[in-house]
Chain A
Amino acid sequence: DQQVKQNSPSLSVQEGRISILNCDYTNSMFDYFLWYKKYPAEGPTFLISISSIKDKNEDGRFTVFLNKSAKHLSLHIVPSQPGDSAVYFCAASNFGNEKLTFGTGTRLTIIP
């Protein structure tokens, strides 16, 4: 049972434009959400997180939006840069069980 889903396996975006990565979840107990960036054979790098009491969180070029009623979150990267090319994972947890449940990832390619 895939509780966290990233339905787009890949995404290509022109340099300088906005990249939007999407994630859906089914478990209504999740209350903490994170985005990680990952290169092959390296550990995931934490980018940004959001708790369920908020609907938006910004950090530099990265903004995460949470729509609890739709059980949907998205990561916006503006402007996109070539160094952003990587696989992006969303992850979710809840306060009582801190294990992260990961989505399957979206490969983002920034075209110069």
Chain B
Amino acid sequence: DSGVTQTPKHLITATGQRVTLRCSPRSGDLSVYWYQQSLDQGLQFLIQYYNGEERAKGNILERFSAQQFPDLHSELNLSSLELGDSALYFCASSVDRGNPQYFGPGTRLTVL
């Protein structure tokens, strides 16, 4: 158990819908990262927040957004969902630069 929690574990929805994925980092970790793992791609970085502020952005689609709240939990919002958004979404946390990122169990999103 990494100490990072993600909910829900599974999510099935239809094209065009909007969903919210939630992540709680390990106690004491200020950074939260979101990654996507599709079938045909490896783990791809989406976005990072540090202590409530966006710190880095990867190839995140404009339909996707995220935020980190004062209690440090983070939410990833995916809207206007397409079939190709079906993937595993992982959240990771770390205390700061130069430290390992610890991953949560992931949310499996299926868009029908």
Interchain CB contact (< 8 A) of A46 among B58, B88, B100, B106: B100
Bin chain B's interface residue count. 20 to 34
CA distance A102 to B45 in the complex (A): 9
**Whole-angstrom CA separation of A80 from B102 in the bound complex:** 24
**Contact status of A32 and B98, CB under 8 A, knowing A42-B105, A98-B55:** yes
B42 touching A102 by the CB < 8 A rule?
yes
Contacts of A104 in B (CB 8 A): 42
Q: Which of B2, B90, B97, B108 contacts A98 (CB 8 A)?
A: B97
Chain A contacts for B35, CB-based, 8 A: 100
Give the distance to chain A from B92, nearest Cβ to Cβ, in Å.
8
12 A–B contacts, CB within 8 A, in A order: A41-B108, A42-B105, A43-B4, A43-B104, A43-B105, A46-B2, A49-B100, A99-B48, A100-B35, A100-B45, A100-B92, A102-B42
List the A side residues contacting B104 at CB < 8 Å: 43
Q: Please determine whether A42 and B42 come into contact, CB atoms closer than 8 angstroms.
A: no
Q: Shortest CB–CB separation between residue A104 and chain B, in angstroms?
A: 6
**How many angstroms from the CA of A88 to the CA of B61 in the assembled complex?**
28
Main secondary structure of the interface of A (DSSP, over half): strand
Task: Provide the A36-58 mask, 1 if CB < 8 A to any CB of B, else 0.
Answer: 10000111111001010000000
Is B11 in the interface zone, CB < 8 Å from A? Answer: no
Partner of A51, one of B33, B43, B98: B98
B74 at interface, CB cutoff 8 A: no
| Contact pick for B2, options A34, A41, A45, CB 8 Å | A45
Q: Is B101 an interface residue (CB 8 A)?
A: yes
| B14 part of interface (Cβ distance < 8 Å) | no
